[in-house]
């Protein structure tokens, strides 16, 4: 089938770009008379023609770039071309920041347009994952708002500034700054309340939930997510609605409220797909990432891998490779592949994705940034499993090297987590547990026991005795006692407790039950307790049959429900 001919409009754009570059007569003044959407297409053609130096000069002018930010329906193309300038070595972000920072000390009159420009630019930089620059821009916006006065309109602008900055600081792991912004946002909300001028706070409350979520304070994350959901309505921008649904779903996942999480994330992905799919928008990718998170935690692992792969493909299409969104996509896919291939031993694709995540983060983040801790943890888990596959004795040196590298990664991740969160935090406890498993593999059994006990203690204090994370650590300690330290009675109690937690949270189909059932069978075999060994062997067979016949349904509804219907149904489940 022959290609469709170019439209007259496209031909004009092509000729204009070719003419201005080839004949070296780019007349800025004349071209900038064009409407915003036409000028955008002109600049995007520069990008596709690889005229990046000229495009960088244009985008470095704040007034010009502000016009491009107004073309909202082509945001993915703007992000894509902007990332290409960064990869090309352009200092476009520095130039825009410098231009906007001049308002801080300049004598120019601060207008609402200037403040709006800063808010739009800060929001755009957030979307692209350039959080440090976003924070700098929004710091200036805060100063300008405060200099201009304290009427209701300005306070609303200030609250919007805090909303966007809180998101950037939370994702970028600037937790002390985020805590300060959180307090300032609530104070500004209270001032607006006195003026009876409080705007809809659903988006802000979702970002507050996200702050508590990344700090592993899951009860608070869930409560703020509930507040944000109750404020949703059809008058809000779809982007805000999707963000609230996504964050609330993640908060439900960590509280093991899977029915609620499924309802919300299905709506978020469906809405994002309906609005953005043809444009391959980052909003759609973000919704897919959170859907993958739900699937992975709900024990639908193969499906989660497919969803993560799709989300990463969208991100790579927009940002190519040197971007934090792409790095996180590789990291999450690496972990899903690791879990999916746990029984097969085929970990090399998982390792490749983990390596890519770390390489990108090393390139674009400050040294020892906390984001690296999670990626290093994933890679260390993968290396440990690869090392275990070398137990035949022919490649002992390679095995030792892998285990030592894994230990170094785990210790580095623990140090970063401890520095950011302190001892009493779920993330820190996870790193202790990971070290415990590694030391078990390395036959350092006393050190392994200490790590597992520390992990269990922290998790129990923070999450209670029947949380999934507690059950996971208890199962690991049971394995250590059963297979290596010959403390079979202690292992028996721990396995039964782990099974109780799994059944309570996930039901009889949960895949993790296999390891506990196998462990108990081993315990009773070692104790020569034939009756219990036979009993749990029978339970194990029943579990295998149930697991194979069980199909978890995660099919999307044939049509999107109304927002009000979804919220009403969600609240019924509370």
Note the pLDDT tens digit of each residue in 122-141: 999 999 999 999 999 999 99
User: 170 to each of 132, 135, 177, how far by Cα in Å?
Assistant: 11, 11, 9
Residue among 65, 15, 22, 69 at smallest CA distance from 42: 15
The number of folded domains in the chain is 1
Residue of higher predicted confidence among 258 and 554 = 258
Is the residue at 413 inside a domain?
A: no
Q: What is the pLDDT of residue 157?
A: 97
Q: What is the pLDDT of residue 2?
A: 45
Q: Give pLDDT tens digits for 29-54.
A: 667 788 899 899 989 988 998 989 88
- Taking the C-alpha atoms of residue 313 and residue 287, their distance in angstroms, rounded to an integer, is 13
Mean pLDDT of 426-434: 95
Residue 30, number of CB atoms within 10 A of its CB:
10
Q: What is the pLDDT of residue 450?
A: 97
- Taking the C-alpha atoms of residue 64 and residue 40, their distance in angstroms, rounded to an integer, is 10
Distance of CA 407 to the CA centre of its chain: 25
Q: What is the pLDDT of residue 1?
A: 42
- Taking the C-alpha atoms of residue 58 and residue 46, their distance in angstroms, rounded to an integer, is 10
Identify the three-state secondary structure at position 496. Answer: helix
Q: What is the pLDDT of residue 23?
A: 40
- Taking the C-alpha atoms of residue 244 and residue 251, their distance in angstroms, rounded to an integer, is 11
pLDDT over 60 (residue 263): yes
Is the residue at 568 inside a domain?
A: no
Q: Please spell the DSSP secondary structure of 356-391, one letter per residue.
A: HHHHHHHHHS-TT-THHHHHHHHHHHHHHHHHHTTT
- Of 164-178, 284-298, 395-409, 468-482, least confident by mean pLDDT is 395-409
DSSP summary character for residue 215: T
Binned at pLDDT 50, 70 and 90, residue 470 comes out as very high
Is the residue at 460 inside a domain?
A: yes
Residue 160 structure tokens: 């919007």
- Taking the C-alpha atoms of residue 165 and residue 174, their distance in angstroms, rounded to an integer, is 11
Query: Using alpha carbons only, what angle is made at residue 239 by residues 145 and 263, rounded to the nearest 5 degrees?
Result: 135
Q: What is the pLDDT of residue 524?
A: 96
b/e burial code for range 453-492 (CB count within 10 A of at least 16 → b): ebbbebbbebbeeebbbbbbbbbbbbbbbbbebebbebbb
Is the residue at 468 inside a domain?
A: yes
- Taking the C-alpha atoms of residue 269 and residue 251, their distance in angstroms, rounded to an integer, is 16
- Taking the C-alpha atoms of residue 329 and residue 338, their distance in angstroms, rounded to an integer, is 14
Distance in Å from the first CA to the final CA of the chain? 55
Residue 108 structure tokens: 């120019």
Binned at pLDDT 50, 70 and 90, residue 388 comes out as confident
Binned at pLDDT 50, 70 and 90, residue 511 comes out as confident
pLDDT over 60 (residue 377): yes
Percent of the chain with pLDDT over 70: 91
- Taking the C-alpha atoms of residue 332 and residue 566, their distance in angstroms, rounded to an integer, is 28
Q: What is the pLDDT of residue 108?
A: 67
Chain mean pLDDT for the chain:
91
Is the residue at 487 inside a domain?
A: yes
Q: What is the pLDDT of residue 546?
A: 81
Q: What is the pLDDT of residue 276?
A: 62
pTM for this prediction: 0.91
Mean pLDDT of 14-40: 68
**Dihedral of the alpha carbons of 7, 12, 15, 18, in degrees to the nearest 10:** -100
pLDDT over 80 (residue 102): yes
Is the residue at 496 inside a domain?
A: yes
Q: What is the pLDDT of residue 333?
A: 98
CATH at residue 441: 1.25.40.10
- Taking the C-alpha atoms of residue 384 and residue 403, their distance in angstroms, rounded to an integer, is 6
Q: What is the pLDDT of residue 491?
A: 96
Identify the three-state secondary structure at position 258. Answer: helix
Percent of the chain with pLDDT over 90: 76
Mean pLDDT of 495-509: 92
Q: What is the pLDDT of residue 398?
A: 87
Q: What is the pLDDT of residue 574?
A: 81
Mean pLDDT of 399-423: 93
Mean pLDDT of 390-416: 86
Q: Are 36 and 74 in contact (CB under 8 A)?
A: no
Mean pLDDT of 200-207: 98
Residue among 535, 527, 433, 427 at smallest CA distance from 475: 433
- Taking the C-alpha atoms of residue 221 and residue 502, their distance in angstroms, rounded to an integer, is 23
Most confident of 11-15, 103-107, 394-398, 433-437: 433-437
pLDDT over 60 (residue 272): yes
Structural domain harbouring 481 = 422-553
Q: What is the pLDDT of residue 389?
A: 81
Q: Give pLDDT tens digits for 153-199.
A: 999 999 999 999 999 999 999 999 999 999 999 999 999 999 999 99
E-state strands within 454-546: none
Q: What is the pLDDT of residue 512?
A: 85
Is the residue at 473 inside a domain?
A: yes
pLDDT over 60 (residue 551): no
Binned at pLDDT 50, 70 and 90, residue 218 comes out as very high
Mean pLDDT of 198-214: 97
Is the residue at 469 inside a domain?
A: yes
Q: What is the pLDDT of residue 416?
A: 92
């Amino acid at each position: 089938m022959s290609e469709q001919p170019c439209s007259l409009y496209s031909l004009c754009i092509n000729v204009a770009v070719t003419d201005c570059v080839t004949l070296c007569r780019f007349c800025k003044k004349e071209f900038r008379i064009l409407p915003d959407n036409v000028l955008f297409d002109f600049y995007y053609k520069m990008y596709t023609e690889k005229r990046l130096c000229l495009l960088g000069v244009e985008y470095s002018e704040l007034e010009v770039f502000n016009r491009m930010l107004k073309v909202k329906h082509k945001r993915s193309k703007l992000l894509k071309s902007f990332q290409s300038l960064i990869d090309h070595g352009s200092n476009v972000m520095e130039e825009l920041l410098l231009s906007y920072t001049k308002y801080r000390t300049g004598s120019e009159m601060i207008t609402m347009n200037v403040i709006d420009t800063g808010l739009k630019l800060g929001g755009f930089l957030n979307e692209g994952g350039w959080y440090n620059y976003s924070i700098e821009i929004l710091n200036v916006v805060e100063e300008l708002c405060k200099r201009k006065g304290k009427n209701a309109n300005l306070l609303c602008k200030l609250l919007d500034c805090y909303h966007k900055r809180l998101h950037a600081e939370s994702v970028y792991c600037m937790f002390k700054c985020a805590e300060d912004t959180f307090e300032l946002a609530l104070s500004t909300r209270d001032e607006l309340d006195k003026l009876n001028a409080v705007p809809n706070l659903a988006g802000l409350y979702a970002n507050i939930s996200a702050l508590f979520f990344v700090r592993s304070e899951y009860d608070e994350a869930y409560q703020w997510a509930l507040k944000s959901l109750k404020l949703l309505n059809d008058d809000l921008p779809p982007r805000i609605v999707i963000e609230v649904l996504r964050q609330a779903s993640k908060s439900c996942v960590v509280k093991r409220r899977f029915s609620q999480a499924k309802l919300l994330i299905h709506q978020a992905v469906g809405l994002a797909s309906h609005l953005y799919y043809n444009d391959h928008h980052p909003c759609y990718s973000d919704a897919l990432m959170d859907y993958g998170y739900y699937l992975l935690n709900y024990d639908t692992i193969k499906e989660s891998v497919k969803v993560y792969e799709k989300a990463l493909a969208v991100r790579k299409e927009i940002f190519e490779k040197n971007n934090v969104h792409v790095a996180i996509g590789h990291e999450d896919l690496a972990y899903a592949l690791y879990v999916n291939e746990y029984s097969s031993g085929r970990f090399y694709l998982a390792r490749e994705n983990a390596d890519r995540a770390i390489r990108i983060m090393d390139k674009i983040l400050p040294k020892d940034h906390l984001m690296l801790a999670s990626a290093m943890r994933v890679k260390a888990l993968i290396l440990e499993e690869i090392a275990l596959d070398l137990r035949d004795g022919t490649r002992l040196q390679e095995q030792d090297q892998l285990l030592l590298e894994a230990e170094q990664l785990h210790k580095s991740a623990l140090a970063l987590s401890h520095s950011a969160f302190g001892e009493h935090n779920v993330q820190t406890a996870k790193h202790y547990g990971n070290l415990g498993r590694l030391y078990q593999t390395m036959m350092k059994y006393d050190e392994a026991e200490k790590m597992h006990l520390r992990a269990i203690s922290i998790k129990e204090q923070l999450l209670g005795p029947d949380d999934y994370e507690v059950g996971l650590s208890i199962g690991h300690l049971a394995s250590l006692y059963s297979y290596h330290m010959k403390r079979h009675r202690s292992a028996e109690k721990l396995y039964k407790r782990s099974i109780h937690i799994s059944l309570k949270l996930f039901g009889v189909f949960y895949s993790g039950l296999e390891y506990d059932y196998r462990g108990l069978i081993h315990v009773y075999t070692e104790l020569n307790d034939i009756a219990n060994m036979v009993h749990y062997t029978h339970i194990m067979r029943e579990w295998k049959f149930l697991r194979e016949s069980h199909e978890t349904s995660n099919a999307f509804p044939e049509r999107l429900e109304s927002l009000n219907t979804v919220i009403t149904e969600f609240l019924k489940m509370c």
